[in-house]
């Protein structure tokens, strides 16, 4: 559990164990083979400007001071959740797979995936494997202390009170009075969090590197693999291509610390198709050197100093006092879409999932409960940021499990607008005693949930959904626990989009920016992705025919960006790609095991199913992934 009373403080690889959960509601020791989890913070070498924890940065934000109870705040910490089998906890792992969630995803995206992989590894290969799931540094901003208390008490009302009790006119729960004695702190996407503008791809790669190094120290023979889901495959590719020796000299490439790369429903990254121009490089430097921080903070264009106002049209005059006269336009510190994606919506999903874990479908969701006997005094109607839920439930009360299903199901309106949510979790059920219910995967499904989208495409112009849809994911057992269990969660409340865009336009190779003159501008402090062409470790890609990488051609650009495979499992002769058009453009021939580039498609799977699906005959991920890991252990 994540609550203060259950926290254990122990030193592990230089970090602090935040939480440990045995995967059940019992405080007893877990039984053999139970999927267990523990979450850790460890120091990162990244110390971006303006960030709490960076030397010289003074925290004076009233919200941060209230949330953390003082000014001793350090966001320069890498966080990961270690998934392991309880009967293997004290054993040295034969290998560790470090994995990165995608857009708006949290480490708990990997909860079902880890259970499937670790159990199959133990049962079929007699291997001790672990999955270490990364939470981005934005996770430190999530104020979950009241949700932790609700989890320990198995009381979702306490969690709802923590988040929105003021909007509902509730007196602060005694459990919250005894704990933080306050309600949640939510941060806005400008002045509160402008420091996120400095969290560049290199910062995230340095955070990942701290976790990779910890894993290398824990695994037998340093057997560490790195993977990601969706946008997490971009983090994976960028890490592999980064030279961590920022001072120059002999490279310290990310790929050199790994046994292989795992790309889950994402294409990785690719080289830019056009040479970068000087104006783009100027803009990148202006963003990094302070312009983007000021533009995010003030929500207005700023020159490189972050203070001087400008417009793009008049930048030469407005920013003429600086050698770099670029004008940086404003953006939100983190990803937010009014009416669809909000910190409040992601936070309340944890309460809804806890409610779903405790109540069956005869009970309406707590999110629709009218408090104090006042009609309409429920969070869906009283909290504007939850407006999308009104469209999901309409005028009919829904159970909490039905509300969650409506939110993430691949056939629903939310997933249609936000594809990163899409998961095949069943279908809407009948209204029973006035309550909308949900048909989970093991119940009879309507024909509309099992659409046949036709044969595989042959040309790239035709790529899209194909194949017989399946309801692959068990909503109650695979999804619900991940939304609230332990010191992590399913969604990233503050996805750090602004800083990730600092080097936009460079692709997988930043040599023109980071190399010393005359090859580049010597700005390895901004990014140092110079090793893409040297990546020589095996790669395996997994897609869903109803997802974002529905065909093997989705990985062609990454395969073209990297070098030949030189691992012992490869033959040293076979190229990454054998034939881009055979048997078709959509299904090119890769080098497979010999060439160190394998691809697998799970027919009928939506975007998140690649992580959340049961390990059954439809799952074309777990078995080939285990073979890949086993083959590349040293």
Mean pLDDT for all residues in the chain: 94
Pick the closest to residue 472 from 521, 372, 542, 367 (CA basis): 542
Residues 17 and 162 in one domain: yes
In a domain, 456, yes or no: yes
pLDDT at residue 15 is higher than 60: no
pLDDT in tens, 124-133: 999 999 999 9
Least confident of 1-5, 379-383, 447-451, 453-457: 1-5
Residue 297 inside a domain? The answer is no
pLDDT for 29: 46
C-alpha span between 554 and 535 (Å, rounded) = 19
How buried is residue 89: exposed, middle or buried, by Cβ count under 10 Å (0-12/13-18/19+)? middle
Whether residue 356 sits in one domain with residue 224? no
Alpha-helical (H) ranges within 143-221 are 145-153, 156-168, 174-178, 201-218
**Does 194 lie in the same domain as 52?**
yes
Nearest-angstrom CA–CA distance, 125 and 624: 13
| DSSP single-letter state for residue 411 | T
Structure tokens at 234: 């971009």
Q: What is the mean pLDDT of residues 72-98?
A: 97
Domain annotation covers residue 57: yes
Query: What confidence category does residue 28 fall into, taking pLDDT thresholds of 50, 70 and 90?
Result: very low
CATH of the domain at 80: 3.40.50
- The residue ranges of DSSP E strands in 217-335, in sequence order, are 224-229, 260-264
pLDDT at residue 21 tops 50: no
One domain for residues 231 and 82:
yes
Tokens 């901004």 locate to: 526
Does residue 459 carry a pLDDT above 80? yes
Q: What is the mean pLDDT of residues 93-117?
A: 98
Whole-structure pTM value: 0.95
Looking at the domain assignment, is residue 563 inside a domain?
no
Same domain for 249 and 352, yes or no, is no
CA dihedral 73, 68, 142, 132 (to 10 degrees): 50
Q: pLDDT confidence of 395, banded at 50, 70, 90? A: confident
Pair (223, 371) in one structural domain? no
Q: Which residues contact 574 (CB under 8 A, 6 or more apart)?
A: 565, 591, 592, 594, 595, 596
Domain count, the chain: 2
pLDDT at residue 18, rounded to an integer: 52
Positive or negative: CA dihedral 139, 142, 145, 148: negative
The last residue of one of the domains, among 453, 484, 515, is 484
**96 & 206 share domain:** yes
**Position 10 confidence tier, pLDDT thresholds 50, 70, 90:** very low
* Phi, psi (rounded to 5 degrees) for 266: -165, 150
Q: Are residues 254 and 401 in the same domain?
A: no
Q: Domain containing 443: what range?
A: 343-484
What confidence category does residue 3 fall into, taking pLDDT thresholds of 50, 70 and 90?
Answer: very low
Q: Answer with the one of 264, 294, 325 that is the final residue of a domain.
A: 264
What's the pLDDT score for residue 464? 85
| pLDDT digits 0-9 by tens, 322-344 | 999 999 999 999 999 887 889 99
Residue 129 maps to a domain = yes
Strand-pair category, 427-432 with 260-264: unpaired
* Predicted pLDDT at 387: 87
Sign of the CA dihedral running 503, 506, 507, 509: negative
How confident is the model at residue 24, as a pLDDT?
37
Residues 441-447: contacts with CB within 8 Å, 24+ apart?
441/471, 441/472, 441/473, 441/474, 441/475, 441/614, 442/474, 445/471
Residue 273 in domain: no
Domain C-terminal end among 264, 280, 310: 264
Based on the domain organization, do 53 and 178 belong to the same domain? yes
Take residue 58 and report the two structure tokens written for it.
């003074």
Q: Is the pLDDT of residue 345 over 80?
A: yes
Q: Is residue 274 part of a domain?
A: no
pLDDT score recorded for residue 211? 98
Confidence band for 23, pLDDT divided at 50, 70 and 90: very low
Both 228 and 357 in one domain: the answer is no
Q: Quick one: average pLDDT of 371-382?
A: 96
Share of the chain above pLDDT 70, in %: 95
* Residue 413, in any domain of the structure: yes
């Amino acid at each position: 559990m994540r609550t203060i009373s259950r926290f254990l403080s122990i030193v592990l690889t230089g970090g602090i164990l935040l939480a440990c959960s045995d995967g059940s509601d019992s405080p007893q020791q877990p039984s053999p083979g139970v999927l267990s989890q523990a979450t850790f913070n460890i120091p990162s070498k990244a110390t971006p400007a303006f960030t709490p924890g960076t030397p010289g940065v003074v925290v004076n934000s009233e919200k941060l001071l209230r949330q953390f109870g003082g000014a001793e705040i350090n966001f320069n910490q890498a966080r990961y959740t270690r998934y392991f089998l309880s009967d293997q906890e004290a054993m040295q792992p034969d290998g560790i797979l470090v994995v990165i969630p995608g857009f708006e995803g949290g480490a708990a995206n990997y909860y079902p995936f880890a259970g499937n992989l670790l159990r199959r590894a133990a049962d079929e290969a007699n291997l001790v494997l672990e999955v270490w799931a990364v939470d981005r540094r934005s996770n430190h901003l999530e104020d979950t202390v009241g949700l932790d208390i609700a989890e320990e008490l198995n009381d979702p009302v306490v969690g709802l009170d923590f988040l929105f009790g003021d909007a509902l006119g509730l007196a602060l729960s005694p459990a919250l009075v005894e704990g933080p004695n306050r309600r949640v702190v939510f941060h806005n996407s400008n002045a509160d969090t402008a420091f996120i503008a400095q969290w560049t791809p290199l910062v995230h790669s340095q955070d990942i590197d701290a976790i990779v190094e910890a894993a290398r120290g824990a695994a037998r023979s340093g057997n560490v693999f790195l993977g990601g889901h969706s946008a997490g495959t971009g983090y994976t590719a960028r890490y592999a291509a980064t030279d961590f020796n920022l001072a120059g000299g002999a490279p310290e490439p990310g790929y050199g610390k790994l046994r292989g790369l795992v790309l889950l429903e994402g294409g990785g990254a690719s080289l830019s198709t056009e040479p970068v121009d000087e104006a783009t490089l100027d803009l990148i430097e202006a963003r990094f050197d302070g312009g983007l921080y000021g533009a995010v903070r003030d929500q207005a264009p700023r020159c490189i100093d972050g203070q001087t106002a400008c417009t793009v049209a008049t930048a030469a005059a407005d920013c003429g006092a600086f050698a770099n006269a670029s004008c940086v336009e404003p953006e939100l510190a983190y990803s937010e879409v009014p009416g669809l994606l909000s910190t409040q919506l992601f936070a309340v999903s944890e309460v809804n999932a806890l409610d779903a874990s405790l109540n069956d479908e005869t009970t309406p969701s707590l999110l629709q409960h009218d408090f104090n006997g006042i009609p309409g005094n429920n969070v869906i109607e009283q909290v504007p940021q939850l407006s999308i839920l009104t469209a999901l439930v309409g005028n009919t009360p829904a159970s909490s499990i039905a509300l969650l299903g409506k939110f993430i199901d691949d056939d629903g309106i939310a997933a249609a607008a936000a594809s990163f949510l899409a998961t095949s979790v069943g279908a809407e059920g009948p209204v029973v005693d006035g309550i909308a219910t949900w048909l989970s995967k093991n119940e009879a499904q309507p024909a509309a949930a099992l659409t046949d989208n036709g044969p595989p495409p042959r040309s790239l112009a035709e790529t899209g959904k194909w194949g017989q849809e399946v309801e692959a994911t068990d909503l109650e057992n695979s999804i619900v626990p991940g939304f609230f269990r332990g010191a992590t969660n399913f969604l990233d409340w503050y996805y750090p989009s602004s800083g990730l865009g600092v080097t936009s336009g460079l692709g997988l190779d930043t040599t023109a920016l980071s190399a010393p003159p005359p090859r580049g501008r010597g700005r390895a402090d901004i990014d140092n992705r110079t090793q893409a062409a040297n990546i020589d470790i095996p790669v395996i890609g997994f897609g869903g025919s109803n997802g974002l990488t529905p065909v093997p051609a989705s990985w062609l650009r990454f395969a073209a960006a990297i070098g030949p495979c030189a691992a012992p499992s490869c033959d040293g002769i076979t190229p990454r790609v054998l034939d881009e058009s055979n048997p078709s453009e959509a299904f090119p021939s890769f080098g497979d095991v010999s060439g160190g580039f394998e691809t697998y498609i799970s027919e009928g799977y939506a975007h998140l199913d690649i992580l959340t699906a049961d390990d059954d005959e439809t799952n074309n991920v777990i078995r080939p992934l285990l073979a890949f890991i086993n083959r590349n252990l040293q």
